[in-house]
Amino acid sequence: MATGHRLLLENARQVVLVCARGERFLAGPALRSLAVLEGASLVVGSDGFIKAIGPADVIQRQFSGETFEERIDCSGKCVLPGAGALFRKTLERNEQCSEHYDTVRHRLSIFRFSTLFAGLVDAHTHPVWAGERVHEFAMKLAGATYMDIHQAGGGINFTVEHTRQASEEELFGSFRQRLQCMMRAGTTLVECKSGYGLNLETELKMLRVIERARRELPLGISATYCGAHSVPKGKTAIEATDDIIHNHLPRLKDLGRNGDLHLDNIDVFCEKGLGAELGAQAISHLEEVSDEGIAAMAAAKCSAVLLPTTAYMLRLKQPRARKMLDEGVIVALGSDFNPNAYCFSMPMVMHLACVNMRMSMPEALAAATINAAYALGKSHTHGSLEVGKQGDVIIINASR
């Protein structure tokens, strides 16, 4: 009897699986050659998970007579290996993608062309907030230091103030728009932090907004409590820590137990390089990590989430991506989207990782797919095109 499936993507010139043997991350020599199929098709089942991938003729025989809610012919364009075209073409699409939003569904960014890629994973963002800080960028360009801006009432306290005042509906409205821009740039799974409340009430408001987006929008969200983002005005570091331990964390535990909030990660700040030893799944930034820190991360299989936009916009020292890759660290990428680093685009992040951090294109692609999923504890379901994984696929037009 004929079975119904959600989607058939036929005859793609190239399907970039990223990995194909159930790997949870890629590090070391495995980064030199990513898994790619030529002349292939892909089937997404009615549950939204990948049902089959393989040579186009094999898939055609296997699924002949079966029905699909949607069928997309991906043939007709010449595609050769190389992620450079992905960066370029996806950026081109971004500029005109507002009218393409209605094609984004089933967690699928459809650009109706002929190379299939695993959806991009953004492993580090701060996307829920109110209070634009464009004026601070102007101040910085004019020579103001971080402390000048802070003393003028700017910096994180400005965002905290506005986020505390904003209604849940206002926060959700701007958050939804930002997520839509990220989807249009090819992101299908994104980590979203709280952290502009710094009091229990506002942190919970932000986490409820993230929870609502998880339920209503067609992209994957990994929610992170980041209540220790900064010491709030009027409190000492010790008072703020006590508040988190005695008020925030117990409340989050209750809400999680009742199913009211779904929290995937908790962010903590380590200034003395103890992350890997503490058993962290991932550590972000790492502009100042020591050689010992790098060795400890490699040994502990703790992933390094590098943030090229932050290093670029704040003119920081670049993290030593090459050293980390050569030592076998699981390198992942994130946009660090926040009021200071207004970048929705993982292709742009990958581009900066290649140019400024000297990563190769396969390394940048693995860092923005399977390794970013690993950093979020989701590489068993996301980050590559493999049977049984979430059907998060980007279809792009590229000649090579």
Q: How many residues bind Zn ion (CB under 5 A)?
A: 1
- Burial state string for 196-220 with b = 16 or more CB within 10 A and e = fewer than 16: bbbbbebbbbbbbbbbbbbeebbbb
Residues 6+ apart with CB under 8 A from 181: 94, 344
Task: Kindly tell me which of 23 and 336 has the beta carbon lying closer to Zn ion.
Answer: 336
Q: Are 270 and 278 in contact (CB under 8 A)?
A: yes
Picking from 241, 294, 243, 293, the residue whose alpha carbon sits closest to that of residue 268 is 241
User: Minimum distance from CB of 228 to Zn ion (Å)?
Assistant: 13
User: Minimum distance from CB of 190 to Zn ion (Å)?
Assistant: 13
Q: Are 116 and 384 in contact (CB under 8 A)?
A: no
200-216 and 168-184 are packed helices; what angle lies between their axes, rounded to 10 degrees? 50
Q: Interacting stretch for Zn ion, rule CB under 5 A, among 10-18, 24-32, 99-107, 335-343?
A: 335-343
336 binds Zn ion (CB under 5 A): yes
Task: Kindly tell me which of 63 and 196 has the beta carbon lying closer to Zn ion.
Answer: 196
Task: Kindly tell me which of 41 and 335 has the beta carbon lying closer to Zn ion.
Answer: 335
Q: Interacting stretch for Zn ion, rule CB under 5 A, among 168-176, 205-213, 292-300, 336-344?
A: 336-344
Amino acid at 14: Q
User: Minimum distance from CB of 338 to Zn ion (Å)?
Assistant: 6
β-partners of residue 222 are 191
Q: Interacting stretch for Zn ion, rule CB under 5 A, among 63-71, 99-107, 135-143, 329-337?
A: 329-337
Task: Kindly tell me which of 336 and 386 has the beta carbon lying closer to Zn ion.
Answer: 336
User: Minimum distance from CB of 124 to Zn ion (Å)?
Assistant: 6
Task: Kindly tell me which of 194 and 369 has the beta carbon lying closer to Zn ion.
Answer: 194
Q: Are 384 and 136 in contact (CB under 8 A)?
A: no
Q: Are 385 and 15 in contact (CB under 8 A)?
A: yes
Specify the 3-state DSSP secondary structure of 296. Answer: helix
User: Minimum distance from CB of 123 to Zn ion (Å)?
Assistant: 10
Task: Kindly tell me which of 203 and 336 has the beta carbon lying closer to Zn ion.
Answer: 336
Picking from 366, 372, 379, the residue whose alpha carbon sits closest to that of residue 17 is 366
User: Minimum distance from CB of 126 to Zn ion (Å)?
Assistant: 6
Task: Kindly tell me which of 101 and 269 has the beta carbon lying closer to Zn ion.
Answer: 269
Residue 318 CB-density burial (10 A; 0-12 exposed, 13-18 middle, 19+ buried):
middle
Q: Interacting stretch for Zn ion, rule CB under 5 A, among 231-239, 286-294, 316-324, 331-339?
A: 331-339
Task: Kindly tell me which of 114 and 371 has the beta carbon lying closer to Zn ion.
Answer: 371
Q: Interacting stretch for Zn ion, rule CB under 5 A, among 62-70, 322-330, 334-342, 344-352?
A: 334-342
Which stretches within 327-360 are classed as H helix? Answer: 346-357
What is the number of the residue whose Cβ is closest to Zn ion?
A: 336
Q: Are 116 and 106 in contact (CB under 8 A)?
A: no
What are 382's two structure tokens? 């996301």
Q: Interacting stretch for Zn ion, rule CB under 5 A, among 76-84, 263-271, 328-336, 359-367?
A: 328-336
CA–CA separation, 241 vs 251, rounded Å? Answer: 15
User: Minimum distance from CB of 171 to Zn ion (Å)?
Assistant: 18
User: Minimum distance from CB of 309 to Zn ion (Å)?
Assistant: 10
The footprint of Zn ion (CB under 5 A) covers: 336
